[in-house]
Amino acid sequence: MLKTDKERIFYQIYPKSFCDSNGDGVGDFRGIISKIPYLKELGINSVWISPFFESPGVDSGYDISDYRAIDPQIGTMDDFEEMVSCFHENGIDAILDFVANHTSTEHVWFKESEKSKDNPFRNYYIWRKTPPNEWESTFGGSAWEYDEKTGEYYLRSFAKEQADLNWENPKVRQEMQAVVDFWLEKGVNGFRCDVLDLISKDFSSPINGSGPQLHPYIRELFGRENCKNIFTVGECWSATKENAQLFCDKNRKELTTVFAFQHLCLDNGRFYIEKPSLKTVCERMSKWQKVMADIGAPATVFLENHDQARSVSRFADDTKYRFESATALGGLLLLHDGVPFLYQGQEIGFTNSYHTDISEFDDAETLGYYGIEHGKTDERSLMEKINFGSRDNPRHMIAWTAETQEAWIAPYSRQKEINVEKDLSSEKSVYAFYQSLIALRKKEKCFTEGEFQDVELTDGYYVFKRALGEKEFFIVFAFGKECVAPKIQNAKVVLNNYNDVGKMLQPYQLIVYQKKGKREDEK
Ligand code: TEU
C-alpha cells in the first residue's frame, strides 16, 4: 500500500519497549499487534520498526547475530508476518531497520572470520596488523580492537561486540542484498538504513565513513528492480547539502531520503548539559527544508528517535508547560514539508526519566561514557549528565497505564504522572492534539504538496508558512517566554494549543492560521 512519500506519517516503534503482551518484561510483536488500533486512531500510516533480529543485545539489537532470525523474546516469524499483514490491512506500511555496517561478533560470519587469517570468511570483516589510523569508537576507546586469536585488529565503529563488515568484499555486498530481498519477500515496504554512510571507508582519512564507494554500494543495493518502489531512508550523520543531492536524487536510484542531524547536533555531545536554543533548532530545520526542496526530494522531519533524549525535556519545558511543549513540538514535526517521523510516546509527551544509580541504566553508550568519566568528577554531576543525555530516555517501556512492570529496563520514573491511559482521558491530551495535527496534515494538501517558506525567526518565536494554489497556512511556534505575538492579518485560527489568542504569545504556544482570500503573492 504505497503512498506518495510526503503523504507518509511515520511512527517509529522500538519493539523491546513498545508493548509487552506476555509479561516477560520485553515488548513483542503481539504487543504491537494489540496497539495497531491505537496507532490507526492516531492517524499515522507508516511504521519504522527498530531491530528485532537475533542478537546478544549488547547494543539493544543493533548487534545482529542472524539477519533472518527473530529474537524469541520479541516473537516468531508467524507473529511477524501476522503483524505486517495487520498493519497493511489497516493502511499502514512497515519499514525495517537495516543494520548494514556491522554485525555482532556472535554472527557466524565473524566466528568464522576470527578463526584464522585464511578462513573463507576472513575478509567479511576489516582486519589489520596494526591500526591504520586513529579512529575512535562512538562508544569510547579505539575503533580498532585487538584479537588475540590471530594477533590482528578488527574495526568496530561501535561496541567491541559489533564488528564492521567489509563492503569492499563483493560477497558481503551479495549477502546484504540477500538480507534485503528476504525481508522484501515478507512484504515489508522499505528500510531505515543504520549508519549507512559508514559502509564505505577511506582508511587514510581521519574520519570514519563516507568513503569513495559509498554511492556505488548504495546504488548497487537499492538500484535493483525489486527495490524501485520501496521507501528507503539512510541514517547519514555526514549528510550535507552537497551529498544529499547524491543520496536522494531520484535518477540516481539510491535512497528516498536521509536522516540529517544538524538540528539535533547542537551541543557538545549528548552528555553535555545544555538546553539547545529552539531558535537554532528551527533555523536548522528550516535550512534543511530548503536543501531538500532544491533537490526535489522529501526532507525527513524528526525531533526524537531511540538514540535521542525526549524532545520535551531536551528543548522545551517538561514540567509546568509539558502539554504546551509537547503539542508545539508536534506542530514543528507535522506541519513542515517532507516526511514526519514520530517516535513512540512522543504523542503522549513523555519526558526524560530520572535515575540515581548507574546500575539502573542499560545503554552501551551510556555505560561506556560512565566508565570513562567515573571518578573524574563527583558522582552526582556525572549522573545529572547521564540522566540528561542517556539513550535510555527514549527506551523505557511505554507507560500504557500508571502501573509499572518488571522489565528489561528500569521503569519510566514519571509513569504515575504521565501515561497513555491518563493522557487519553485528560482535558489537555497530547494524543488528541497530535490527532488534530495529523488530521489537518491529511485534510489540507498544502502540507503534503505545498511549498515551505520561513516567514520570521526571532528570539521569541518562529513563523513558517505552507502554501499551495490560493491557500496559505501560517504556523506560529512560540519559544519558552511570553512575547508580543506576530500579526497574521486576514486569517482565521484553525489550531491552537491554548484556549485563545491574545496580543502576547504564551510559552510554547502553537497557532495555525489559515489565510482568507487570495495569497499575497498571487493577487
Ligand atoms: O546510531 C548511530 C550513532 O552514531 C548513534 O549511536 C548516535 O550517533 C550516538 O548515540 C552518538 O551520540 C545507529 C543506531 O541508531 C544506534 O542505536 C546504534 O547504537 C548505532 O547506529 C550502531 O548500530
**Spatial separation of the C-alpha atoms in residues 197 and 259, rounded to whole Å:** 11
DSSP 476-509: EEE-SS-EEPP---SEEEEEESSS---SEEPTT-
Q: Give residue 521's pLDDT.
A: 61
Mutating to test ligand 1, I would choose from 13, 53, 62 the residue with most ligand atoms within 8 A of its C-beta, which is: 62
Name the residue among 348, 320, 346, 351 with its Cα closest to residue 333.
346
* Structural domains of the chain, with CATH: 108-163 (3.90.400.10)
Q: Give residue 522's pLDDT.
A: 55
Mutating to test ligand 1, I would choose from 237, 307, 393 the residue with most ligand atoms within 8 A of its C-beta, which is: 307
- What ligand 1 atom has the least distance to the C-alpha of 270? 12
Beta carbon of 307 within 6 Å of any ligand 1 atom:
yes
Q: Give residue 340's pLDDT.
A: 98
Position 2 pLDDT exceeds 70: no
Position 454 pLDDT exceeds 70: yes
Q: Active-site residues: which are they?
A: 194, 235
Name the residue among 102, 105, 121, 113 with its Cα closest to residue 208.
102
Amino acid at 286: S
CA-closest residue to ligand 1 atom 4: 138
Name the residue among 37, 36, 38, 66 with its Cα closest to residue 53.
66
User: Which of 25-34, 263-272, 280-289, 311-320 has the weakest average pLDDT?
Assistant: 263-272
Beta carbon of 144 within 6 Å of any ligand 1 atom:
no
SS3 62: coil
Q: What is the mean pLDDT of the chain?
A: 96
57: region left, alpha or beta (phi > 0 left; psi from -120 to 50 alpha) = left
Distance of CA 307 from the midpoint of ligand 1 (Å):
6
At 398-428, the pLDDT tens digits run 999 999 999 999 999 999 999 999 999 999 9
Question: Cell match 569510547: residue?
Answer: 140
Position 266 pLDDT exceeds 80: no
Distance of CA 237 from the midpoint of ligand 1 (Å):
10
**Spatial separation of the C-alpha atoms in residues 32 and 35, rounded to whole Å:** 5
Whether 156 contacts 137, CB under 8 Å: yes
pTM of this structure = 0.97
Whether 385 contacts 350, CB under 8 Å: no
Q: Give residue 273's pLDDT.
A: 85
DSSP code at position 377: B
At 107-151, the pLDDT tens digits run 999 999 999 999 999 999 999 999 999 999 998 899 999 999 999
